[in-house]
Structure 1
Amino acid sequence: MDLTTHYDVVVAGAGPVGLMLGCELRLGGVGRVLVVERLAEIDETIKAGAINSPTAVALDRRGLLPALAEVQRQALDQFREFQRARGGNASAPPPPKFAGHFAGIILGADMLDPADPAFADIGPAGDVGLVPQAALERLLADRAREAGVEVRRQVELTGFEQDDDGVSVHLAPTDGSAPESVRASWLVGCDGGRSAVRKLAGFDFPGTPPEITGYQAVIGLTGAEGLGTGWTATDTGMYVHGPTPGRVLTVECDGPPVDRTTPVTAEELQGSLRRVSGVDVTVTEVRTATRFTDNCRQVTDYRAGRVLLAGDAAHVHSPFGGQGLNLGIGDAMNLGWKLAAVVRGRAPEGLLDTYTAERHPIGAWVLDWTRAQIALMRPESHARALRAVVTDLTRTVDGTTYLVKKISGVWQRYDLPGDHPLVGLSAPDLELADGTRLADHLHSGRALLLDLDDDPKLRVAAEGYGDRVDVRTAVCPGHPHLSGLLVRPDGFTAWAADPRQPGVAQKPEAPTLKDTVEDTLKRWFGAPAA
């Protein structure tokens, strides 16, 4: 076949992760990015209903916060519509911004300590969370188009061969037209839990087998008056009714479904809902539906030569706690700028090793987080006894705050070199004296060196990185003890200076400040230009 068509990166899968990765690659200066997707349209199947703090913050740093706020407003309107249909108070306040659940145990906002330092400096992104997956995918599809990402739908990846110089990728249009092959420097699988890229590349994918059958759907329903709202545990499983019109979820702990590939029928949903709830409901219409299990697996390495994985292609787990979408967006943010730097020759391939090193531990935590919830959801006496203990803990400020910090993702950090407490954490959304926020200076997708002490030596250290790192001198009244901050393109702090901390960064006359920032710049962004 003709392999003359060449791309820098081919991405398999145009879900939120693949689209986000495509956008990040283009921001990083990658010339030709192709995203291929088997589906003809954006998948409207009901999936994740919310985003966590790292995702909201990441999208804020790319200028998408106003659009996210509008999506949330529409979601809250649906919440009120459901309240009205149930005979409730349509003007009741929406769920609190940090609310969530652990194994269906609702975490009350009145038991959350909002003054916990983990919630500090998130900025206005902390007010956005109710963003359904399909709506986010539409936003990212628009952004990818604006960024110049080539997205080809109704195209399936059927195979590939990699060598030292790149990957030959074989594509088959699903409309029956002639297959083709293209050449790419790199291939990234963002093609979901049943990833063809992962299987064809032979990634090791260990984990634990499924134990449950779950359904999530938006349906037409009669006899729903007998259903509770929210999460309800029964002797046969768990179910959810609401918080938007027609939305239901069921969990049965009697093993995985026999077939996960056929469309979910009204009879199937009706049977599950009746068994779990004990209510004689009738499903009259299926608008959108999906099956899920608690199959938990994670690849041991996110890279095999010139092939990489992100999102569900790299890790699968049950959806409880809403971690999957957010975990995938974090993968795309971490990988995008690194792969762009390698493609453009600004960093050695070894930089890609930090992708697995940084993202694998967070993925492993998510798998265990979801396994723990399954253990509490089983309808047997030992699990229900343990569930009662955890429920008691959620009635305390410390217990609820701990769980909400985990759900929100504010705990996430990378093990990066450096002694400052901010290193490895998502950078605080500093409010600067000129009225801007740190997020406003990250829309370009470049790194940011923030000089908060008007230090000429700090700015000299960044000379030669003008094509990779933006340098800003600013005043930050709310953080008088922070004199400098180096933020990677993914928003994580690579270096920070505190004039009170000897040996890390002192006043401008101390040579350690310039030395440490120079070392950090070289570590992440290569040698300075001549």
Structure 2
Amino acid sequence: MRVPEMDADVIVVGAGPTGLMLAGELRLAGVRPLVLERQPRLPDVPKANGLGGQVLRLLDHRGLLDRFEAAAAGPSHPAPRYPFGDVHVDFSGLAEPPLRGLTLPQPELERLLDERARDFGADVRRGQEVVGFTEDDAGVGADVRGPDGPYRVTARYLVGCDGGYSRIRELAGIPFPGTTYPEVNRLGQVTLADSVTRSADGDLDVPGLGPVRTGFTRTATGLFGFGPLDEQVVLVLTTEDGPVEADDAPLTEAEFQDSVRRVLGGTLPLGRVVRLSRYRMQARQAERYRAGRVLLAGDAAHLFPSTGVGLNAGLLDAANLAWKLAADLAGWAPPGLLDTYDAERRHAGARTMLHTQAQVALRRGRDDAAVALREVFQELLTDEQPLLRLGALIAGTDLRYPPPDPGAHVLTGTFAPDVALRAVGGADAARPVLLDLADRPDLREVAGPWRHRVDVRTAELPDRPADALLIRPDAHVAWAATTGEPAATAEPALRAALSRWFGAPASPADAP
């Protein structure tokens, strides 16, 4: 059947970090994305303030981390402390802290991702609101309302990256079950008045209140949180029970200060107010990330009841989805490949939901049992192994996508080891790679018929993690050969993995 001419290969609705990351990844794979964003211009208010965990390894693999660090307040760095609920997780005593962070306000992040997408040739249109769509066997048609009037665009697929209140998710009929917690959080990005003294360790000395430590302070009326963003701007958070008279109205400085007084019992003198916001935490995950030719990514697919994780998850969604969409559009995707996006990223979302909902349990309780739980949890975190385990969970470095074969190598489904990615050398084109670490001509020969899709590299590594690694475009391991594994088992397993993830081998006429 002849496929009708489309305006684009993929319509991406939403030009936040997830949508822009997806657009760039699609262009790397040779796909034509059209990005439609309701807001007329890039934001200038920082909703998020940085990146952390596994996504930094992905950006490094793509050759982007240096560019992001150049625009940030400094290079990525080990995170010495992390607020988990209102428990203080201290990684500073570990030789290799399991969590890294990069301080980069969201407007700067979106500017960099927008530049990357446009440099690769993505069509990014702002001030364009998608108000509806239709779908058939050939593709999707989106109805758009722009400043010059309504119009319609078509593509093979449509991806909703339009946030927690996603119109695309609603129109696709995808349920978004979960919980909205009743506590009201008020967040300020502010500078402090000269009368407030900050000590070398970051704690405050506030006139009339005395010392206020960095991190969380629990009082009889709520929770107060404080932490530095840079040398001048700090984050100030209050959490209280109770209704809000105008929940949708913008948070004013007066309301924010009233909340601080109720929680701390005094006034926190402020200087410049950068941003104020009010929100309730939500724990929600879409029942499915795909409905026919419509897919979801980022906050449209999941909302976590903790700050600092949703942005990272959305960027990783984009990397997982892009190469699979590209394979489908190019016609070589094996059966079910695109469905693995839903299976894998819903699994990843469930892991993130696990630790963020655990934070809710630690944060919410106020009775003696809850106090005891926090004390026991804090005591456990004085030991190295629980610290490492929790740090890996927060960072997402413990994630393993369920392998098709239950007897697969332990690395299968995990993010490729850093030593292997360095040996690959960046993979800016985001192509799959068979990395031969043990000079195995038998395995290289097996991969020969897939060389039009899979690069083959060799490297020598001390203490190699496997004889060979088949690394997907999103830097996850599709298959690994155990050190010294005989050809009789390694060759058919590699052949099966190549077919499962990268389609049929080339015919002799198509071979390079």
Report if TM-score (shorter chain) is over 0.5. yes
Contact 1:217 1:286 in 2 (8 A): yes
| Superposition pairs of residues 368-517 of structure 1, within 5 angstroms | 368-378=354-364, 380-381=366-367, 382-418=369-405, 419-430=408-419, 437-438=422-423, 440-479=425-464, 482-500=466-484, 505-506=485-486, 510-517=487-494
In structure 2, the gaps of 5 or more residues are 197-204, 207-211, 508-512
Contact 1:429 1:439 in 2 (8 A): no
What residue identity is the alignment partner of 1:104? D
Deviation (angstroms), 1:474:
1.9
- 1:107-158 CA-to-partner distances (Å, cap 9, x unmatched) read 223443639xxx6xxxxxx765333433322221111111111111111111
Cross-structure match for 2:116:
143
Cross-structure match for 1:51:
51
**Secondary structure in structure 2 of the residue aligned to 1:138:** helix
- 1:21-75 CA-to-partner distances (Å, cap 9, x unmatched) read 1111111221x21111122333333333332331001111110121233344448
Contact 2:23 2:117 in 1 (8 A): yes
Cross-structure match for 1:214:
185
Contact 2:61 2:428 in 1 (8 A): yes
Q: What is the rounded CA distance, in whole Å, between the counterparts of 2:245 and 2:430 in structure 1?
A: 45
- 1:255-299 CA-to-partner distances (Å, cap 9, x unmatched) read 575555433221222222222222213556532232222211111
Judged with a 3 Å threshold, the aligned counterparts in structure 2 of structure 1 residues 349 and 22 are, in CA distance, closer, same or farther, namely farther
Cross-structure match for 2:318:
332
Q: What is the rounded CA distance, in whole Å, between the counterparts of 1:312 and 1:456 in structure 2?
A: 45
Cross-structure match for 2:201:
none
What residue identity is the alignment partner of 1:114? E
Q: What is the rounded CA distance, in whole Å, between the counterparts of 1:373 and 1:128 in structure 2?
A: 19
Identity score, percent: 42
What residue identity is the alignment partner of 1:527? A
Judged with a 3 Å threshold, the aligned counterparts in structure 2 of structure 1 residues 49 and 220 are, in CA distance, closer, same or farther, namely closer
Judged with a 3 Å threshold, the aligned counterparts in structure 2 of structure 1 residues 260 and 446 are, in CA distance, closer, same or farther, namely farther
Is 1:364 paired with 2:346?
no
| Superposition pairs of residues 220-299 of structure 1, within 5 angstroms | 220-222=191-193, 224=196, 225-226=205-206, 227-244=212-229, 245-255=232-242, 257=244, 259-283=246-270, 285-299=272-286
Deviation (angstroms), 1:338:
0.5
Is 1:205 paired with 2:182?
no
Cross-structure match for 2:14:
13
RMSD over aligned Cα atoms: 2.4
**Secondary structure in structure 2 of the residue aligned to 1:437:** helix
Deviation (angstroms), 1:319:
2.8
Is 1:344 paired with 2:330?
yes
**Secondary structure in structure 2 of the residue aligned to 1:490:** coil
Judged with a 3 Å threshold, the aligned counterparts in structure 2 of structure 1 residues 260 and 487 are, in CA distance, closer, same or farther, namely farther
Cross-structure match for 1:24:
25
What residue identity is the alignment partner of 1:358? E
Deviation (angstroms), 1:428:
0.5
Q: What is the rounded CA distance, in whole Å, between the counterparts of 2:482 and 2:383 in structure 1?
A: 35
Is 1:186 paired with 2:157?
yes
- 1:283-317 CA-to-partner distances (Å, cap 9, x unmatched) read 56532232222211111110001000001001112
Judged with a 3 Å threshold, the aligned counterparts in structure 2 of structure 1 residues 127 and 213 are, in CA distance, closer, same or farther, namely closer
- Taking structure 2 as the reference length, what is the TM-score of the superposition? 0.88
**Secondary structure in structure 2 of the residue aligned to 1:170:** strand
Q: What is the rounded CA distance, in whole Å, between the counterparts of 2:78 and 2:25 in structure 1?
A: 31
Q: What is the rounded CA distance, in whole Å, between the counterparts of 1:430 and 1:257 in structure 2?
A: 52
Judged with a 3 Å threshold, the aligned counterparts in structure 2 of structure 1 residues 220 and 54 are, in CA distance, closer, same or farther, namely closer
Deviation (angstroms), 1:205:
1.1
Contact 1:166 1:185 in 2 (8 A): yes
Contact 2:468 2:480 in 1 (8 A): yes
**Secondary structure in structure 1 of the residue aligned to 2:12:** strand
| Superposition pairs of residues 168-179 of structure 1, within 5 angstroms | 168-173=141-146, 176-179=147-150
In structure 1, the gaps of 5 or more residues are 77-94, 120-125
**Secondary structure in structure 2 of the residue aligned to 1:51:** strand
- 1:58-96 CA-to-partner distances (Å, cap 9, x unmatched) read 1111101212333444489xxxxxxxxxxxxxxxxxx84
- Taking structure 1 as the reference length, what is the TM-score of the superposition? 0.85
**Secondary structure in structure 2 of the residue aligned to 1:271:** helix
**Secondary structure in structure 2 of the residue aligned to 1:188:** strand
Judged with a 3 Å threshold, the aligned counterparts in structure 2 of structure 1 residues 259 and 37 are, in CA distance, closer, same or farther, namely farther
Q: What is the rounded CA distance, in whole Å, between the counterparts of 2:459 and 2:228 in structure 1?
A: 44
Q: What is the rounded CA distance, in whole Å, between the counterparts of 1:314 and 1:273 in structure 2?
A: 33
Length, aligned pairs only: 485
Q: What is the rounded CA distance, in whole Å, between the counterparts of 2:216 and 2:474 in structure 1?
A: 35
- 1:317-336 CA-to-partner distances (Å, cap 9, x unmatched) read 2234x211111111111111
Ranges of 4+ aligned residues in structure 1 off by more than 6 Å = none
- 1:479-508 CA-to-partner distances (Å, cap 9, x unmatched) read 1x62211000000001111233xxxx32xx
**Secondary structure in structure 2 of the residue aligned to 1:453:** coil
Q: Which moved more, 1:8-17 or 1:98-107?
A: 98-107
Q: What is the rounded CA distance, in whole Å, between the counterparts of 1:425 and 1:162 in structure 2?
A: 35
| Superposition pairs of residues 92-131 of structure 1, within 5 angstroms | 96-97=78-79, 99-112=81-94, 114=96, 129-131=102-104
Match of 1:523 among 496, 500, 507: 500
What residue identity is the alignment partner of 2:45? T
Contact 1:211 1:295 in 2 (8 A): no
Contact 2:140 2:293 in 1 (8 A): yes
Judged with a 3 Å threshold, the aligned counterparts in structure 2 of structure 1 residues 279 and 394 are, in CA distance, closer, same or farther, namely farther
Deviation (angstroms), 1:423:
0.7
Cross-structure match for 1:134:
107
Judged with a 3 Å threshold, the aligned counterparts in structure 2 of structure 1 residues 302 and 276 are, in CA distance, closer, same or farther, namely same
Judged with a 3 Å threshold, the aligned counterparts in structure 2 of structure 1 residues 12 and 112 are, in CA distance, closer, same or farther, namely same
What residue identity is the alignment partner of 2:220? D
